[in-house]
Structure 1
Amino acid sequence: MDHSEKRIILGKLSAVYGVKGWIKVTSSTQPRENIFNYPEWQLKVGNQWKTIQIEQGRPHGKTLVVKLTDCNDRDQAKLLVGAQIAVYREQLPEITEGEFYWADLLGMEVLTVAGEVLGKVKEIMETGANDVLVVSNKVSGKTVECLVPWLDDDVIIDVKKKKRQIIVDWDPDF
């Protein structure tokens, strides 16, 4: 089975740690340690995906560190820095009605409560205070982006998964 379209990005390998092949991890999971719930990762190194197993993973101060199978020294670890970490969609826990993964929102159409189209979700940024939708649209042949804060009930009014729409209470000129 071709899984290429069903990978969900969970984070990236951000820096080497020590001399024995350990690597710092930037995680997009909540809580961040949940990235270690998947013993097998898909790593995108350059333009290639490869499957790799986790030997050990743990929090280290404000970051996470991981020891991957067959990565035994700093030089091997350096080759993996910057790699995206993904798992296959079917590895994710089942979710209930009304829940969704951030990955489900990508490409969804964003409309105001008045029905005005703001564009499609291009990415989701983590800002610390709240996440922000980066919404992209073509206006007069030019790509325009707007940032919409993810504030349940205040800004995000509804997520219609089947219609692939997000309804927001947001000024399109903001």
Structure 2
Amino acid sequence: MINIKIKKPIEPILIGKVGKSYGILGWMNVFSFTEKEENIFTYIPWFFLKEKIFTQVQVKNWKRYKKNFIIYIDTISDRSTAKKFTNSNIIISRHQLPLLQNNEYYWNDIISYKVFNINKIYLGIVIDLIRTKDNDILVVRHVFKKLKKNIFIPFIEQTIIQKIDSKYKYIIVRWN
């Protein structure tokens, strides 16, 4: 059997972030960005990305801690080594994600989609999505860049979000 170590992910996808170290044995806090938080552990291998450098890691153990998780990486056994990865992004290769059905999409796919209201007026381009307790928020860079204000549109499908077209990369919203 050939064991090939990948140096960096193919089509990188952000799925979480490393927090501060936990304890003296190299455990680290982790914040999951996956819809079901525990799913972050189904996507292996992980890469830590910090200062444009990818480091492939293998999670040896993990447990729920307060509202997030703590993890133990097989090559990190002390607090000072763990601290080096604080604030690293957790990245995977896109091919690790489940295949989508028609009319399904991942959040990072709709970044850069054009946004139009139901009157076909161009509002701007999607630059981010924010998860909140009540509903998610679509962050759109306003068409008039001089305003330097983003538009925050509640991501409520069929009420405000009327259509997401993955083929032509646009979103229709009920918004003025």
**Higher strand residue share:** 1
> Which residue of structure 2 lines up, in the alignment, with residue 70 of structure 1?
75
Q: What is the aligned counterpart of 1:137 among 139, 142, 145? A: 142
Q: What is the aligned counterpart of 1:13 among 15, 18, 38? A: 18
Per-residue deviation, 1:127: 1.4
SS at match of 1:103: helix
CA deviation vs aligned residue, 1:29-59 (integer Å, no higher than 9, x gap): 0210100112311211112122111111221
CA deviation vs aligned residue, 1:67-118 (integer Å, no higher than 9, x gap): 1121111111111010001111111111111111101111101110111111
User: Hey, which bits of structure 1, 4+ residues long, moved more than 6 A?
Assistant: 1-5
Pairing 1:33–2:38 present: yes
State, as a whole percentage, how many aligned pairs show the same letter.
Answer: 28
> Which residue of structure 2 lines up, in the alignment, with residue 47 of structure 1?
52
> Which residue of structure 2 lines up, in the alignment, with residue 165 of structure 1?
170
Per-residue deviation, 1:137: 2.9
Pairing 1:59–2:57 present: no
Distance in 1, Cα, partners of 2:70 & 2:42:
14
Per-residue deviation, 1:142: 4.8
Per-residue deviation, 1:62: 1.6
Letter in 1 for 2:125: K
Paired residues of 2:15 and 2:92 also in contact (CA < 8 A): yes
Per-residue deviation, 1:2: 9.7
Change (3 A) 1:112 1:3: farther
Change (3 A) 1:133 1:76: same
TM score, norm. by length of structure 2: 0.90
The size of the alignment, in residue pairs, is 171
Per-residue deviation, 1:15: 1.7
Gapped regions of structure 2 (runs ≥ 5): 1-5
What value does the CA root-mean-square deviation take over the aligned residues? Answer: 1.9
Gapped regions of structure 1 (runs ≥ 5): none
Distance in 2, Cα, partners of 1:19 & 1:127:
33
SS at match of 2:149: strand
